[in-house]
Amino acid sequence: MTVQRHRSVRGAYLRWGLGLFGLLGWHRRYLGKHRTARLWLCTAGLLGVGALADAFLLRWLVRRHNLGREIVRVKTRIRELEEQKTQLVEAHRFEEAALCRDQQKLLGARLRELSEGLR
């Protein structure tokens, strides 16, 4: 699995413009939407309608992509902390395990905040 970096609105619009104003689907591939990118390529952006709609939706699509990547990152960190906490408890290092627990709680709150941002 490849981890995608933070995507910019500017980069998405650049690919939208260079890809014949969205008809080739380059902007969708940039955002990790490979299936719809192929669909855009084969149908000329859903006969231009989808490509035109994307001109208005790109800012939202980029935001959604970046929030999704951040959610994956936070969930991964929570799992890592859980494993670390378990190892610390087994080694009778309870204060450090409590710190891991506190970090997990903070990340859980951040995860809820990010999930709300997707709505």
pLDDT digits (tens, 9 = 90+) for 80-108: 999 998 888 888 888 888 888 899 999 99
Residue with tokens 């970046």: 66
- The sign of the dihedral angle between the CA atoms of 65, 67, 69, 72 is negative
Instruction: Kindly report the average pLDDT of the chain as a whole number.
Output: 90
- The sign of the dihedral angle between the CA atoms of 109, 69, 56, 45 is negative
Predicted local distance difference test score (pLDDT) of residue 93? 85
Please state, for a pLDDT cut of 90, what percent of the chain lies above it: 72
Q: Letter for the amino acid at 59?
A: R
What average pLDDT does this structure show over 33-37? Answer: 94
Which is nearest to 64 in space by CA: 117, 19, 11, 13?
Answer: 117
Q: Could you tell me the pLDDT band of residue 2, with boundaries at 50, 70 and 90?
A: low
Contact present, 47 and 40 (Cβ < 8 Å):
no
